[in-house]
Structure 1
């Protein structure tokens, strides 16, 4: 059986922050007067359980399986989860560059070149924007929007984003379109 398992935003799904804690029974006792009710109503995925699940799936049968984790914060994950041998490929998906834009323009607008390409290239060098945001601007919302209109809309969006990023500094750059890491394990 061929299968793909995807766990999106693994850094948010479970506490896999790399800060291994000693289980402290006093912690739940302090919160609920010693009854342990808080833990009774919550299902928990632990780092140990997840590692056993991954290793168990991998070692079971010789079937083709791919496990994909995505995260915006690889530094928060426990090294045991992302070490080589457990996760074989780490792929960083970055912001849209000009080459990626040209592929999107060809796919959505069926154009290989346009007078606005030079301005778009310059803006993409100075602006952090996700490929999905660029694609959204290139998709025709209706049949009345032409190539020129779509590209002008993209230029205006890039100019607004560039100004906003410049005005808000590095803190804002980290929040928009952030890099997401895909971690793959599987037989290819």
Structure 2
């Protein structure tokens, strides 16, 4: 990650650890929420591991798709220990969190169907209100030094109630690879801080979106810096050609759709004229 973002995260974590008495004085649970959002391969899971290592906290990975009832969720949250990180990855697609009113309405429909002989079974669900209540209340009050982290590829798909301040206190955008991020990767993987190809690669980064994971994978392919960086440049060229090909296909599809629409309009006009002439 960029150095500035990394330092911000470390400072926030350190401040959190030092504020036991502050949280107690203001009457808030000693917890901190983080939302990590951005495209796949930008380091969200790696950042969680780094945070856990930095704090020496345990990590609990909560797979919401395996939890069917609010009561089951309650048992899982109670079982988490102090000095821990609770992780819910891909919260936008791991499970559909239903509003309480929606669930109650479906229960009423189920009861009506049962009276009329329908055998449809009620589907167990985690409600949005139940999930938020347990996060805010029970889980927060039954221990200290808790961190909860949500990850998502699409922040805009999340319910605002999930990510408001007080739940997700810090929002961290995990972006595509930047020039500074590339230099960190080159230093880590190739043990170099300067190279004649750096400027060309940094220019390519401004033209083509690639994730840090993709860059790292290319740098892993060869221990020789020259060969590794040349391979990365070739990867950029291939990626750019792929993007251009997809753009052309999209344009051609749009053109065909427009052509079909215009043809349909012409046919409708001819048909209308024929009908008017008959009348």
Q: TM-score, normalised by structure 1?
A: 0.75
Report the equivalent of 1:95: 176
Q: CA RMSD in A?
A: 2.6
- What do the CA deviations read for 1:122-142 (whole angstroms, capped 9, x no partner)? 11000111111101111146x
Matches within 5 A, 1:14-163: 14-16=95-97, 21=102, 23-24=105-106, 25-26=108-109, 29=113, 34-37=118-121, 39=123, 43-55=124-136, 56-61=138-143, 63-140=144-221, 145-163=223-241
Q: Give the conservation status (yes or no) of the 8 Å contact 2:91–2:152.
A: yes
The answer to whether the Cα contact below 8 Å between 1:6 and 1:67 also exists between their aligned partners in 2 is yes
> Following TM superposition, by how much is the alpha carbon of 1:156 offset from its aligned partner in structure 2, in angstroms?
0.7
Give the drift of 1:60. 2.7
TM-aligned CA distance change 1:49 to 1:116, over 3 Å: same
1:117: Cα distance to partner?
Answer: 0.8
How many correspondences in the alignment?
A: 161
**Whose relative contact order is higher, 1 or 2, with alpha carbons under 8 Å and at least 6 apart?**
1
Query: Which is helix-richer, 1 or 2?
Result: 2
Q: Which has the larger radius of gyration?
A: 2
Q: Distance in 2 between matches of 1:16 and 1:160?
A: 40
Q: Is the 8 A contact 2:98 2:125 kept in 1?
A: no
What is the SS of the residue equivalent to 1:84? coil
- Cα distance change, pair 158–38 in 1 and its aligned pair in 2 (3 A): farther
Q: Deviations over 1:31-78 (max 9, x none)?
A: xx7223362xxx4222122102211212333x1111000111222211
Are residues 17 and 79 of structure 1, via their aligned partners in 2, closer, same or farther at CA, if it must alter by over 3 Å?
A: farther
Judge conservation of contact 1:17–1:76 (CA < 8 Å) in 2: no
Ranges in structure 1 where 5+ consecutive residues have no aligned partner: 173-188
1:168-187 alignment, distance < 5 Å:
168-169=246-247
Determine the C-alpha separation between the residues in 2 that align with 1:17 and 1:109: 48
1:166 aligns with 2:244: yes
- 1:17 Cα shift? 8.1
Q: TM-score, normalised by structure 2?
A: 0.52
Q: Please list every run of at least 4 consecutive aligned residues from structure 1 whose deviation after the TM superposition is greater than 3 angstroms.
A: 25-30
